């Protein structure tokens, strides 16, 4: 699966940045993520599944450093070029399958991810969240924006699924085929996308020891989940003096 994803995203690099930067929905995702992350000039940050840098490039001017991790070498190369052109010397990249990523314990203040973790199987999501809790310093934040919905048990799930079906149906026979294909994949739990509902994400974060776990819907299927690694003194964040 990792090799398939690597090849897929290497091929998509040429049009990906313009795709995400031109979409109002992605702009709303970015704004919501940055608001929840509250980046500080003293923060050491990690962006998981960074792609061409939609989030990493926005974070870099606001923090001490950003490590942008992606499975596709072409995506990382494109991001590095964009960082150089923007004069961002505090942004570095690493090519790595997120399932194999290992970072020093208590080395980061902020870990983010945008529209990447739904590609992981659920046990791999859980394992990654547990590792992020160890990578963060006390008081550090994990902020994940992604497609967050389930199989239709909640009102929100049903509204999202109706919206997706209507959008595809409007495209004619090609859209109808995608409806049938996606329903089959989703029902069987196969394919490359494995979204889960907010309550599953929240449980993963709490099981990993995060506190102040919060969910916020963004737009359509997009949602945001965040949590804090406990341990900082009241009113204090890593790298910040208590007020």
Cα dihedral across residues 96, 101, 102, 108: positive or negative: positive
Distance (Å, rounded) from C-alpha 52 to C-alpha 90?
16
- One domain for residues 57 and 170: no
Residue 95 CB-density burial (10 A; 0-12 exposed, 13-18 middle, 19+ buried):
middle
| Residue 28 in domain | yes
Average pLDDT of the chain is 86
Query: Which domain CATH number covers 70?
Result: 3.40.50.150
Same domain, 26 and 89: yes
Report the pLDDT value the prediction gives residue 14, as an integer from 0 to 100.
81
- Residue 220, sorted as left (phi over 0), alpha (psi -120 to 50) or beta, turns out to be left
| Claim to verify: residue 187 and residue 202 sit in the same structural domain | no
Do 106 and 182 lie in one domain? The reply is no
Q: In this structure, are 204 and 221 located in the same domain? A: yes
Q: Of 57-71, 84-98, 118-132, 139-153, which range is least confident?
A: 139-153
In a domain, 241, yes or no: no
Residue 5 is predicted with a pLDDT of 76
Confidence (pLDDT) at 203: 97
pLDDT of residue 242 exceeding 50, the answer is no
Tell me whether residue 239 is in a domain: no
Per-residue pLDDT tens over the stretch 168-217? 566 666 655 454 555 555 554 556 789 999 999 999 999 999 999 999 99
Q: How many independent structural domains does the chain possess?
A: 2
Contacts of 54 (CB under 8 A, 6+ apart): 17, 20, 21, 26, 30, 114
Q: Is residue 215 part of a domain?
A: yes
pLDDT for 69 beyond 90: yes
**Residue 38 and residue 121 in one domain:** yes
Residue 161 and residue 144 share a domain: no
Residue 155, classed as helix, strand or coil, is helix
C-beta neighbour count of 166 within 10 angstroms: 11
CA–CA gap between residue 4 and residue 195 (Å, rounded): 18
The whole domain housing 210 covers: 2-148+195-228
- What does the block give as tokens for 184? 């089959």
Sign, CA dihedral 143-87-93-114, equals: positive
Q: Are residues 91 and 178 in the same domain?
A: no
Residue 194 CB neighbours (<10 A) = 18
More confident site: 139 or 178: 139
Question: d(Cα 115, Cα 28) in Å, to the nearest integer?
Answer: 13
Whether 138 and 51 map to the same domain: the answer is yes
Residues 133 and 61 reside in one and the same domain:
yes
Asked whether the beta carbons of 168 and 175 are under 8 A apart, the reply is: yes
SS3 51: coil
Find the helix or strand (DSSP H, E) in which 82 lies.
helix 73-85
> What average pLDDT does range 132-142 have in this prediction?
98
Rounded CA-CA distance 65/59 in Å is 9
DSSP 25-49: HHHHHHHHHHHHH---TT-EEEEET
- The neighbouring-strand residues paired with 48 are 69, 113
Q: Which is higher by pLDDT, 33 or 160?
A: 33
In a domain, 79, yes or no: yes
Q: Residue 117's pLDDT band (boundaries 50, 70, 90)? A: very high
The reported pLDDT for the residue numbered 88 is: 98
Output 179 or 84, whichever has higher pLDDT.
Answer: 84
Whether residues 135 and 156 share a domain: the answer is no
Whether residue 184 is found in the same domain as residue 70: no
Whether pTM > 0.95 for this model: the answer is no
């Amino acid at each position: 699966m990792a090799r398939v994803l690597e090849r897929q995203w290497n091929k998509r690099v040429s049009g990906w940045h313009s795709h995400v930067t031109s979409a109002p929905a992605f702009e709303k995702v970015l704004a919501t993520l940055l608001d929840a992350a509250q980046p500080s000039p003293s923060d050491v940050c990690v962006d998981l599944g960074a792609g061409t840098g939609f989030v990493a490039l926005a974070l870099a001017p606001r923090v001490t450093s950003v490590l942008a991790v992606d499975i596709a070498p072409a995506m990382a190369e494109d991001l590095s070029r964009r960082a150089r052109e923007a004069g961002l010397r505090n942004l570095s990249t690493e090519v790595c399958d997120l399932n194999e990523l290992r970072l020093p314990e208590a080395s980061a203040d902020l870990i983010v991810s945008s529209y990447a973790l739904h590609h992981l199987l659920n046990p791999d999501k859980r394992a990654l969240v547990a590792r992020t809790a160890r990578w963060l310093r006390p008081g550090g934040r994990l902020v994940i924006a992604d497609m967050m919905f389930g199989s239709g048990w909640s009102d929100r799930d049903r509204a999202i699924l109706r919206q997706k079906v209507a959008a595809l149906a409007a495209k004619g026979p090609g859209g109808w085929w995608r409806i049938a294909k996606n329903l089959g994949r989703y029902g069987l739990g196969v394919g490359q996308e494995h979204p889960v509902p907010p309550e599953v994400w929240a449980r993963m974060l709490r099981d990993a020891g995060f506190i102040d776990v919060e969910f916020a819907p963004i737009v359509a299927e997009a949602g945001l989940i965040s949590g804090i690694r406990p341990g900082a003194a009241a009113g204090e964040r890593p790298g910040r003096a208590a007020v």
